[in-house]
Amino acid sequence: MENFTFENKTKVIFGKETHLQVGREVKEYSKNILLHYGGGSIKKTGLYDRIITSLEEEGIKFHELSGVKPNPRLSLVREGIELCKKENINFILAIGGGSVIDSAKAIATGVLYDGDVWDFYTNKATPEQTLPVGVVLTIAAAGSEGSGSSVITNEDGWYKRPLDTDVIKPAFSILNPELTYSLPKYQTMCGVTDIMSHIIERYFTNVNQTDLTDRLCEAALKTVINNGRILLRDPDNYAARAEIMWAGTLAHNGLLDTGRVGDWATHMIEHEVSGIYDVTHGAGLAALFPAWMRYVKNENLDRFVQFAVRVWDVDLAFDNQEEIALEGIRRFEKFLSEIGMPTSLSQLDIPNDRFDEMAKKCVEFGPIGNLKKLNEADVLHVLKHSC
């Protein structure tokens, strides 16, 4: 086990009707805020009106910036930064999923910086302070409600880049599983895949003696698998949605990182795919992970065998270690198909004519991944074998 420091400043308020507490939580930080959200879905469901009522009851002034897209855009972030500076806004409330939260984090960081916020996403600068951000979560997926991560897409060149620092963790996050009832099945299952991917990226490590976090990862994966299947049959099952929502937060709040070094190569490759083709992150990861697993499995075959046996219940009676590992990958791939996810880039209608460009951009700052360091040729191999 590696040395680690674990800190999580985010206050989590979980359960039914908890979104009605938002005004009371916000007033602890500010009376002049930015309300940040995506399209019209929160207005159609009535969530917008309930949030506004709660804010007004506490005498909170708010300015709105809507229009966040999946794979949130740098141009809107810059617009939000200017709005906050103009109106002396000192708190941002994000209503939505990972894209809205990531955009809010970027705005909050850029307001207190004299340079261009994109500097933080290209390793030219490191943020030291940020405006506080609050969250009302509407989709269990990205885990941004508890993480120190933000991913933004720059339309100039279609670069999708991450920022990772505990400085940007939200001040509070309100998690009401009822708010996810209105999601289409596809979006719910994209979320399930996104959550699993965050766990898998951490699970596949070369660090030895990580039994506790191994078991935590395995428990979280099996919880998401089991409850994802329940939601296929019964999409309004509160208990199943609650389990998945809480798993989504724990998957990405740092707890499962403790004592280990994760991989993250598949995420970096997917960023190039969705940066250009704007696919849903969970779907892109589903299309890439099986190919990555088959390519790197022999780097740590014991871990892939453990994944197969403990998560997918593969029988140790298979002929050899490699066959056990491959059966685990097959069962993972079968589950992805079962929940309606693509298992190849061709299923997402992504052609292969820009693979060279993606591979080159992916290793712009050097090789990616930790289980196996991937260079440009390795990334190209994964992309080609994901078709």
Instruction: Read off the pLDDT of each residue in 172-179 and give the average, rounded to a whole number.
Output: 98
Instruction: Read off the pLDDT of each residue in 99-117 and give the average, rounded to a whole number.
Output: 98
Residues facing residue 135 across a β-bridge: 94, 173
Q: What pLDDT band is residue 179 in, cutting at 50, 70 and 90?
A: very high
How far apart CA 226 and CA 243 sit, in angstroms, is 10
Instruction: Read off the pLDDT of each residue in 63-71 and give the average, rounded to a whole number.
Output: 97
Asked if residue 227 lies in contact with residue 174, where contact means CB atoms within 8 angstroms, the answer is no
Instruction: Write out pLDDT tens, residues 219-258.
Output: 999 999 999 999 999 999 999 999 999 999 999 999 999 9
Q: What pLDDT does 318 receive?
A: 78
Q: Please, what is the average pLDDT of the chain? A: 97
Q: Going by C-beta distance under 8 Å and a sequence separation of 6 or more, which residues neighbour residue 349?
A: none
Instruction: Write out pLDDT tens, residues 288-300.
Output: 999 999 999 999 9
How far apart CA 55 and CA 31 sit, in angstroms, is 9
Instruction: Read off the pLDDT of each residue in 5-16 and give the average, rounded to a whole number.
Output: 96
Q: What pLDDT band is residue 107 in, cutting at 50, 70 and 90?
A: very high
Q: What pLDDT does 316 receive?
A: 84
Domains of the chain, CATH where assigned: 11-179 (3.40.50.1970), 185-384 (1.20.1090.10)
| Sign of the Cα pseudo-torsion (190, 192, 198, 201, in order) | negative
pTM of structure = 0.96
Q: Annotate 126-181 with DSSP letters as a single string.
A: -------EEEEE--SSS-TTT-SEEEEEETTTTEEEEEE-GGG--SEEEE-GGGGT
Q: Which two tokens stand for residue 386?
A: 């994901």
